[in-house]
Amino acid sequence: MVTHTQAPLQVPPPAPHDPALRASMHEHLGWDIRAHARNDPGHAYLATRGMLHMQLWHKRAQISILTPSKLTRSSYHLWSPTRHVQVCCYTQLSELLRDDFHLNAPCERLVRHFEALLVWAPALTNIKTCLKT
């Protein structure tokens, strides 16, 4: 008799943690850096309201982290199937991932690089555009 084992059904996280809501910008050591694409209709809306953010998505562990913005009350917001946590800084986020999930956080310098490119630069561009009109 042959028995088959199935992997547990993985349901996508709820919004705003669903990775399908953002485009993949870079992958590094199991972490997918995701952000709203510039041609996404929600991009300008989020940028002009201080809600533009990135998502750090670990598919294997099913962990989503939203970076600080008005959407997350200026903190990191972690979602997993078993936990929902807000932490104030990257150091606390790294410790939480290491201690509770046995994962290394993405390189902080890499995250800051993409944050500057994908969050802060577009937000400033949209603010300048709004000021001109």
Assess if residue 39 is contained within a domain.
Answer: yes
Number of domains in the chain: 1
Q: Note whether 34 and 54 are within 8 A (CB).
A: yes
Please give the Cα distance from 54 to 32 (Å, whole number): 10
In this predicted model, what pLDDT tens digit does every residue of 23-54 receive, in sequence order?
999 999 999 999 999 999 889 899 888 899 99
Assess if residue 40 is contained within a domain.
Answer: yes
Q: Which residue has the tokens 């913005």?
A: 69
pTM of the predicted protein model: 0.85
Please give the Cα distance from 121 to 119 (Å, whole number): 6
In this predicted model, what pLDDT tens digit does every residue of 69-111 receive, in sequence order?
999 999 999 999 999 999 999 999 999 999 999 999 999 999 9
Assess if residue 70 is contained within a domain.
Answer: yes
Mean pLDDT of the chain, nearest integer: 88
pLDDT for res 133: 57
